[in-house]
Amino acid sequence: MARIAVIGAGMGAMATAARLRVAGHQVTVYERGTTYGGAVGRYERDGFAFDTGPGLLHLPAVYRDLFVKTGKRPLEDCVDMVQLDPAVRHVLDGAAVTLPGASRGGVATALDETFGAGAGERWNALLGRARDTWDATRRPLLEEPLRPDWQVLGRDPYPALRGSGLLRRRPPTLAEIARRELGGGLGELLAGRVLAYGLDPDATPAAAAALPYMEQTFGSWYVRGGMRELATAVYERCRERRVEFVFGADVRSVLTRDGRAAGVRLADGTEAAADQVVCGIDPRQLPGASVPRPRGGVPARGGEAPGRLTLLLALSGARPADAVHRTLVHSPGTAGVRLVTVLRPDDPATRPDADHEAVTVSAVCGPAGGAPVPDPEKLLDLAARAVPGLRERLLWQEVRTPEDVEAATGACGGSVPAPALPGDGGRMLYPANTTALPGLYLAGGWAHPGGGLAHAGMTGALVAGLIVEGAEFRGSQ
The yes-or-no verdict on residue 5 having pLDDT over 60 is: yes
The gap from C-alpha 5 to its chain's centroid, in whole angstroms, comes to: 24
- What share of the chain in percent tops pLDDT 70? 96
> d(Cα 338, Cα 371) in Å, to the nearest integer?
14
Cα(first)–Cα(last) distance of the chain, in Å? Answer: 24
Residue ranges making up the domain that contains 193: 105-215
Domain endpoint, select from 191, 215, 239: 215
Q: Indicate if 192 and 333 belong to the same structural domain.
A: no
Q: Indicate if 312 and 373 belong to the same structural domain.
A: yes
Query: Model confidence over 94-144: pLDDT tens digits?
Result: 899 999 987 889 999 999 999 999 999 999 999 999 999 999 999 999 999
Establish whether the linkage from the previous residue to 449 is cis, with ω within 30° of 0.
yes
Query: Is residue 62 included in any domain, yes or no?
Result: no
pTM of the model: 0.95
Query: Model confidence over 244-299: pLDDT tens digits?
Result: 999 999 999 999 999 999 999 999 999 999 999 999 999 989 998 899 988 888 87
Q: Indicate if 130 and 201 belong to the same structural domain.
A: yes
Q: Indicate if 441 and 350 belong to the same structural domain.
A: no
Query: Residue 138's pLDDT is what?
Result: 93
Query: Is residue 95 included in any domain, yes or no?
Result: no
Query: Residue 303's pLDDT is what?
Result: 57
> d(Cα 230, Cα 223) in Å, to the nearest integer?
7
Query: Please, what's the b/e burial string for 34-66 (b: 16 or more CB within 10 A of its CB; e: otherwise)?
Result: eebbbbbbbbeeeebbbbbbbbbbbbbebbebb
Alpha-helix runs per DSSP H in 242-290:
none
For the chain, how many structural domains are there in total? 3
Q: Indicate if 297 and 308 belong to the same structural domain.
A: no
Taken in order 66, 136, 425, 205, is the CA torsion positive or negative?
negative
Query: Model confidence over 25-54: pLDDT tens digits?
Result: 999 999 999 999 999 999 999 999 999 999
Q: Indicate if 208 and 234 belong to the same structural domain.
A: no
Which DSSP symbol is given to 283?
G
The yes-or-no verdict on residue 302 having pLDDT over 60 is: no
Q: Indicate if 344 and 374 belong to the same structural domain.
A: yes
Q: Indicate if 317 and 374 belong to the same structural domain.
A: yes
